[in-house]
Amino acid sequence: MINRRGLLIILSSPSGAGKSTLARQLMAWDPALSFSVSATTRAPRDGEVDGREYFFLSEDDFKTEVADGRMLEHAHVFGNFYGSPAGPVKKTIEAGKDVLFDVDWQGEIQIRNSDLGKHALSIFILPPSISELHRRLVKRGQDSDDVISKRMLKSWDEISHWGAYDYVLVNDNLQDTEKQLKTIINAERMRREQQPSLQSHVHKLQAEFEEMP
């Protein structure tokens, strides 16, 4: 029996608050941590490889996966579909390894309400200010001015769901936020529900107690 069951670690934030950077830092910290590769209907960006950054699907294929119940969560964002294939996630956590999700609040709700929801740990990352959020979006240089404007308009709707998460961190200093994340994950890994071997250990203690003279 495995000593620990894996967690579904959910990171959410408005675009530009730092969750993707933090996710990369967590992966470097713990090589055993698996990143949930999402499926999407959007076109690949330069340098993206199918099966590494995303599984790139046609809209028809994506909808078939959803209809057949093979998506743990899915959402429609900025004109494209995104989702997390369920099979690989279940297999990974049953092997005692954690899976990291970079999803929005809609994805968090669906994962929380799924059969694997009891193993979920959700963390929302807040920016220190709206002006700083805008500055970060511009600085990273990935989107046009029009897309940045749309992301900023959507940011408050995303932030408004912060209260549904287990933990909420303000990413004012990246190093401090990273330390806080590691502390949370280490503690959550020790939850009773995540340690299936505890029950057999307690039964062993009980047997030993009953055998005492």
Share of the chain above pLDDT 90, in %: 59
CB distance 195 to 3 below 8 Å: yes
Per-residue model confidence as pLDDT tens digits over 39-64: 999 999 999 999 888 999 999 999 99
Which domains, from first to last, does the chain contain? 8-210 (3.40.50.300)
pLDDT at 18: 86
In order of 21, 39, 51, 149, the CA distances from 42 in angstroms are 21, 9, 14, 19
Angle formed at CA 28 by CA 99 and CA 131, multiple of 5 degrees? 90
- pLDDT of 1 higher than 60: no
Average pLDDT over residues 153-160: 89
Query: What average pLDDT does the chain have?
Result: 90
The DSSP line for 96-125 is T--EEEE--HHHHHHHHTSTTGGGEEEEEE
Give the integer Cα–Cα distance in Å for 53 and 38: 8
DSSP state of 126: E
Give the per-residue pLDDT at 141. 74
**Span 79-119, pLDDT tens digits:** 999 899 988 899 999 999 999 998 889 889 999 998 899 99
pTM over 0.85: no
pLDDT at 2 over 90: no
CA distance 57 to 78: 16
Q: Specify the pLDDT at position 138.
A: 85
Per-residue model confidence (pLDDT) at position 81: 94
Does the pLDDT at position 190 exceed 80?
yes
Q: 112-154: per-residue pLDDT in tens?
A: 998 899 999 999 999 989 988 888 888 887 778 788 888 888 8
